[in-house]
């Protein structure tokens, strides 16, 4: 059974505006951003580049799992510049899964004796949002959406609804996921990660099933004020289905419902999985022949909240008016990028369309 959620924002009052954005990923996307050099995957994994995490006490940093470090490291710079955050809204599929497994293993190893509390505290999906809140004494709205491949999209929808209910507020919005040994092994055995060794530089030439693993954290300061914004979310739609024709039909409806917006770039979540390629090719076929096409998963890898990376990349492209050369699949000269349509599919079952535009 297919489930379709329509989330159009035709009124300016309902739009979500992005004012700041940060990203920790396998590429150089944090602090001094440089997307001209593509960092390669290792053993079919695109590991996020470790940063100098400023503002985190060293004693606390040592006890943090990678997902928590990435989330806090990406979120703190935004909170530091905007201390009056009115809420923290994050999306994740696994949160601190690595810490969860460590804690469960300790229960067995120590026969339920003296267990390390740090692993337990950081083992839940909401550990990132809660620690961001505690470190900054933020007692406002705090929520983590855990919806597998649509976790970030649900966080986006939550932010839009909160701003519609309480105009004039500022929210920290984000998506975070890590490559944990547990989840990697489960998805590898399930056939979602490639069995043959492959570089992310050759990902789109692959004709085999599955993809490569990725991880990262992307954070955004969002509100309903267009003044000074770098970008805006004009429309969004999500659906659950494995029917290619339904996805194609829903994209047509999405474009028709936003017919007043000219799409300047199609940002595709194509991931080198031959089984899912049909979704992306069907959607590309709907577009005008002159629409440029770019891809992003050779940069970040495949993970449930990879759409948060594409959201960050869209903001970057709109702000700098350039696409990383390795991302272009189809170019049509040098257009002005004002509206970017992002399509992402997670395991060919969860799909989302995001229309990201320049702020007026």
Rounded distance, CA 23 to CA 176, Å?
Answer: 10
pLDDT for the residue numbered 12: 46
Rounded distance, CA 176 to CA 247, Å?
Answer: 26
pLDDT for the residue numbered 122: 57
* DSSP three-state, residue 145: strand
Q: Over 56-109, what HEC string results?
A: CCHHHHHCCCHHHHHHHHHHHHHHHHCCCCCEEEEECCCCCHHHHHHHHHHHHH
pLDDT tens over the chain, length 360 residues: 566 655 555 454 458 999 999 999 999 999 899 999 999 999 999 999 988 898 888 888 888 888 999 999 999 999 999 988 999 999 998 755 566 666 677 677 767 766 666 555 555 668 899 999 999 999 999 999 999 999 999 999 999 999 999 999 999 999 999 998 888 998 999 999 999 999 999 999 999 999 999 999 999 999 999 999 999 999 999 999 999 999 999 999 999 999 999 999 999 999 999 999 999 999 999 999 999 999 999 999 999 999 999 999 999 999 999 999 899 999 877 789 999 999 999 999 999 999 999 997
What b-and-e string marks burial along 206-219, b requiring 16 or more CB atoms within 10 Å of the CB? beebbbbbbbbbbb
* DSSP three-state, residue 321: coil
Residue with tokens 């069995």: 195
Nearest to 287 by CA among 319, 261, 258, 251: 251
pLDDT for the residue numbered 166: 94
Domains and CATH numbers, the chain: 10-223 (3.40.47.10), 233-357 (3.40.47.10)
Rounded distance, CA 71 to CA 87, Å?
Answer: 15
Question: CB–CB of 317/335 below 8 Å?
Answer: no
Nearest to 179 by CA among 28, 327, 42, 347: 42
Strand boundaries in the chain, DSSP class E: 3-8, 16-24, 45-46, 87-91, 141-145, 171-177, 213-214, 216-223, 231-240, 265-268, 293-295, 328-330, 339-346, 350-357
Rounded distance, CA 176 to CA 152, Å?
Answer: 8
Q: Which residues contact 110 (CB under 8 A, 6 or more apart)?
A: none
Rounded distance, CA 333 to CA 338, Å?
Answer: 15
Give the number of other CB atoms < 10 A from CB of residue 82.
15
């Amino acid at each position: 059974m297919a489930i379709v959620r329509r989330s159009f924002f035709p009124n300016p009052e309902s739009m979500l505006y992005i004012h700041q954005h940060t990203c920790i990923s396998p590429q150089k996307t944090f602090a001094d951003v440089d997307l001209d050099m593509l960092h390669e995957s290792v053993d079919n994994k695109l590991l996020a580049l470790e940063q100098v995490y400023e503002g985190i006490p060293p004693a606390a940093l040592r006890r943090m799992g990678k997902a928590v470090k990435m989330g806090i490291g990406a979120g703190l710079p935004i909170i530091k510049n905007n201390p009056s955050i009115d809420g923290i809204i994050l999306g994740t599929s696994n949160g601190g899964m690595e810490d969860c497994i460590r804690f469960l293993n300790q229960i067995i190893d120590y026969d339920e004796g003296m267990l390390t509390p740090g692993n337990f505290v950081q083992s839940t999906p909401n550990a990132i949002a809660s620690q961001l809140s505690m470190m900054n004494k933020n007692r406002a709205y705090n929520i983590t959406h855990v919806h597998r491949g649509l976790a970030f999209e649900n966080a986006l929808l939550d932010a839009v609804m909160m701003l519609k209910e309480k105009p004039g507020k500022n929210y920290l919005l984000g998506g975070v996921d890590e490559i944990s040994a547990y989840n990697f092994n489960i998805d590898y055995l399930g056939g979602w990660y490639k069995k043959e060794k492959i570089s992310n530089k050759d990902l789109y030439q692959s004709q085999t099933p599955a993809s490569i693993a990725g991880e990262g954290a992307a954070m955004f300061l969002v509100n309903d004020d267009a003044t000074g914004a770098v970008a805006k979310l004009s429309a969004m739609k999500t659906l659950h289905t494995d029917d290619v024709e339904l996805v194609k039909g829903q994209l047509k409806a999405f474009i028709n419902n936003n017919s007043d917006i000219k799409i300047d770039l199609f940002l595709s979540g194509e991931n080198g999985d031959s089984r899912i390629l049909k979704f992306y090719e069907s959607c590309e076929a709907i577009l005008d022949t002159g629409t440029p096409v770019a891809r992003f998963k050779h940069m970040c890898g495949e993970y449930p909240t990879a759409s948060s990376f594409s959201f960050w990349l869209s903001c970057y492209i709109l702000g700098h008016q350039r696409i990383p050369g390795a991302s272009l699949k189809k170019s049509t000269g040098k257009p002005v990028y004002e509206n970017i349509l992002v399509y992402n599919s997670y395991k060919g079952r969860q799909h989302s369309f995001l229309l990201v535009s320049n702020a007026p």
